[in-house]
Amino acid sequence: MSITSTIQTAVITALEQLYNQSFSAKDFQINQTKPEFEGDYTVVLFTLLKPLRLSPDVLGNALGNHLTQTQPSFFCGFNVIKGFLNLTVADEYWGTLLNNNYQNKGYGRKSNRGKTIVVEYASPNTNKPLHLGHLRNIFLGWSISEILKADGYDVVKACIANDRGIHICKSMVAWQKFGHGATPESTGMKGDHFVGDYYVLFGKAHKEEIQELTAGGMSEEEAEKEAPIMKAAQQMLVDWEAGKPEVIALWKKMNSWVYAGFDVTYKRIGSDFDKMYYESDTYILGKKLVEEGLQKGVFYKKDDNSVWVDLTGDGLDEKIVQRKDGTAVYITQDIGLAVEKYEAYHYNQSIYVVGDEQNYHFKVLQLICQKLGLPSSDGIYHLSYGMVELPSGRMKTREGTVVDADDIMDEMIKVAAQKTEELGKVKDFTANELDKLYNTIGLGALKFFILRVDPKKRMIFNPEESIDFHGFTASFVQFSHARASAILRNEQPNHHWSLQYNEPLLSLEKDLIILLEQYPAIIQQAAAEHNPAVIVNFSYDLAKTFNSFVTEHRVLKAETENKKQVRLRICEMTANVIASGLALAGIEAPERM
């Protein structure tokens, strides 16, 4: 139980004993006391005054006296200021909390709730490499999966490879037209980059053909559809769904190149999946559900043979679920996948980590699933996030202006090496140790910079700003962990030492323990909000407070042995919680920097 819950329970019990009235935790607030006032936690009294018919001073003093007299080992003082009861928690409580948890590397994690959540993230198209936008998606999905695990849920990390559709056929047509038999091996290119180049080539060729057709008098809208290369891609999609052998063979070959490239990137960033789905499989079930929906009257056919759903009565509009040529659209496979995931895991919640440009899509998906009476519908949750932009502006795949994930990681490691070497504190590291350190700092900076922003917000990513050993960065938090580890390498806490409470905790000592106590609630909040920024920001606040603490107070040469043991325990618990918080963001906590 958190300290705020413990205080709430104590206040509820006191009010019942004093006034014979029952209250609940919802009837009043408890906050941390503001720094300018004496105390640790504040009971906001205003909502209690009317039912009790008491003035703020009378209620505050009666409640404060009762709590300090009946629970002296917990509350050691109080003051009342204009409707706020500020309570001081006894040092013995903080010392016991520290003593019981400083060695616990699993501190803050909950036991199994018996509930399952499927988190779907990454979900790349197999026609191009992963880019910076994918990285935000992957970091969010992976991190929220780990946070939910820490909060006691069974989590299935899932990925759907969007391995079919017109976008895939564009790369295939371009390779046929311009590839001349080239392969990733023959060109020395990573497979996903190789295929992605042909997607860009398709876009350029398509643009040139549109210009030719419009020069001949055709409208631009018509030219986009009638361009020979676009018609070839559309025919290839029809042939693919018809199972034409040579098209399927080309599709399998080009996808294998992309998957090999993806695997290298996933391994590099430390991302993993428990289950891989493929749109080429799930769309078939989706098409069957479309047929069932037609029979049930959920969907209807237009004169051109395309299949639609009318959601105007639900405040949306009409949505196509199958093209006139019988080929599936994105929503088709999503309906099938929702059913497939539910049948496999009987999940309580299915989280889709997808950018905010798809907000409408997921409203439609849930409505369709509800209208079809699918049990999967109630658990659908769209974890929507904003776009990542660079200082130069928005990225565009078709124009080849996207920043590839591999390139941005290379840049981050390069910046990490440069800034670390400027500090001149790694002269005793071996070459292998330096390589590992630069990777740890560079990739940690990338993840931290992206995850520190609330998912709902758009963000601008600047590699130079993301690595700063004194700023709001992973490198600052990592350095704090290394600083704590260095102290502990010199001396470990004496586990047999019995802490004494005749020396009051100093301000920064107590501030750190108060922060550490909040970590379980922070995990719970991050899980409930589906927001890794809660963890990342907490880790920074903890690191900042710890650095102030070790700057102001000696640890190994503390004034007394008891003070040294308190501070060593603070160092160990802080190191454990920083490492735990960073791990939930997929960031390593080095012991040396």
On whether both 70 and 172 belong to a single domain, the answer is no
Produce one character per residue of 423-432: b if its CB has 16 or more CB atoms within 10 Å, e if not.
eeeeeebeee
Do 182 and 84 share a structural domain? no
Higher-confidence position of 389 and 359: 359
Classify residue 122: in a domain, yes or no: no
User: What range defines the domain where residue 493 resides?
Assistant: 409-584
Q: Which of 226, 241, 268 is the last residue of a domain?
A: 268
Q: In what order do the strands lie in the sheet containing 84-89?
A: 29-32, 41-44, 84-89, 75-81
Contacts of 49-57 with C-beta under 8 Å, sequence gap 24+, read 49/83, 51/21, 52/15, 52/19, 52/21, 56/80, 56/82, 56/83
pLDDT tens readout for residues 168-215: 999 999 999 999 999 999 999 999 999 999 999 999 999 999 999 999
In the chain, the number of structural domains is 3
Q: Any idea what the CATH number is for the domain that residue 434 is in?
A: 1.10.730.10
Among the listed residues 46, 37, 45, 50, the one whose alpha carbon sits nearest the alpha carbon of residue 79: 37
Rounded to an integer, what distance in angstroms lies between the CA atom of residue 226 and that of residue 224? 6
Residue type present at position 216:
G
Least confident among 45-59, 325-339, 457-471: 457-471
Q: Does 72 share its domain with 215? A: no
Q: Which two tokens stand for residue 40?
A: 């640790």
In a domain, 355, yes or no: no
Q: DSSP label at 125? A: B
Residues 443 and 570 in one domain: yes
Q: Check pLDDT > 90 for residue 327.
A: no
Q: Phi, psi (5° rounding) for residue 394? A: -75, 145
Distances (CA, A) of 123 to 159, 192, 341: 5, 14, 15
Contact in structure between 158 and 116 (CB atoms under 8 Å): no
In this prediction, residue 401 carries a pLDDT of 54
- The DSSP call for residue 357 is G
Cβ-contact 493, 98 below 8 angstroms: no
| Helix/strand/coil (H/E/C) assignment for every residue in 259-305 | HHHHHHHHHHHCCCCCEEEEHHHHHHHHHHHHHHHHHHCCCEECCCC
Can you tell me the mean pLDDT for 344-364?
A: 96
Q: Which of 156, 142, 108 is nearest to 276 (CA)?
A: 156
CB of 486 closer than 8 Å to CB of 547: no
- Residue 553 placed within a domain: yes
- Mean confidence (pLDDT) of the chain: 94
Residue 384, domain member (yes or no): no
Tokens of 571: 């160092």
Average pLDDT over residues 565-583: 98
> What one-character-per-residue DSSP string does 424-479 give?
T--TT--HHHHHHHHHHHHHHHHHHHHHTS-TTS-EE--HHHH--TTSSSHHHHHH
CB 280 within 8 A of CB 164: yes
Q: Residue 580: is its pLDDT beyond 50?
A: yes
d(CA 504, CA 90): 9
CB 202 within 8 A of CB 233: yes
d(CA 141, CA 158): 9
Tell me which of 223, 244, 268 is where a domain ends.
268
For residues 67 and 170, membership in a common domain is answered with: no
For residue 34, what are the contacts with CB-CB under 8 A and spacing of at least 6? 42
Mean pLDDT score, 543-571: 97
CB 426 within 8 A of CB 420: yes
CB 437 within 8 A of CB 426: yes
Which residues sit opposite 116 in a β-bridge? Answer: 154
Residues 472 and 568 reside in one and the same domain: yes
Phi, psi of 89 (to 5 degrees): -90, 135
Q: Is the pLDDT of residue 23 over 60?
A: yes
280 found inside a domain: no
One domain, residues 414 and 546: yes
- How far is residue 334's CA from residue 279's CA, in Å, rounded to a whole number? 8
Among 23-32, 137-146, 184-193, 398-407, the least confident range = 398-407
The H-or-E segment that residue 231 falls in is: helix 228-241
Together in a domain, 78 and 178: no
Same domain? For 81 and 208 the reply is no
Write the CA distances from 376 to 280, 329, 349, 369, integer angstroms: 21, 20, 9, 7
Which of 8-12, 181-185, 237-241, 422-426 is the least confident region?
422-426
The pLDDT assigned to 397 comes to: 43
pLDDT tens column, 290-324: 999 999 999 999 999 999 999 999 999 999 999 99
Strands 388-389 and 459-460: parallel
Query: pLDDT tens digit string along 494-552?
Result: 999 999 988 999 999 999 999 999 999 999 999 999 999 999 999 999 999 999 999 99
The mean pLDDT value for 245-252 works out to 97
Question: Residue 376: left if φ>0, alpha if ψ -120 to 50, beta else—which one?
Answer: alpha
Residues 70 and 199 in one domain: no
Give the residue-averaged pLDDT of 257-264: 96
pLDDT of residue 21: 95
Q: What is the pLDDT of residue 393?
A: 53
Coil vs helix vs strand at 389: strand
Considering the domain boundaries, does residue 315 fall inside one? no
For strands 41-44 and 29-32, give the pairing.
antiparallel
Let me know whether 415 and 548 are in one domain. Answer: yes
> Tell me: the pLDDT tens digits for 34-43?
999 999 999 9
Residue 326 pLDDT grade (very low, low, confident, very high; cuts 50, 70, 90): confident
pLDDT band of residue 392 (cuts 50, 70, 90) is low
447 and 543 within one domain: yes
**Residue at 420 is within a domain:** yes
Q: Is residue 294 a part of any domain in this protein?
A: no
Domain boundary among 268, 303, 336: 268
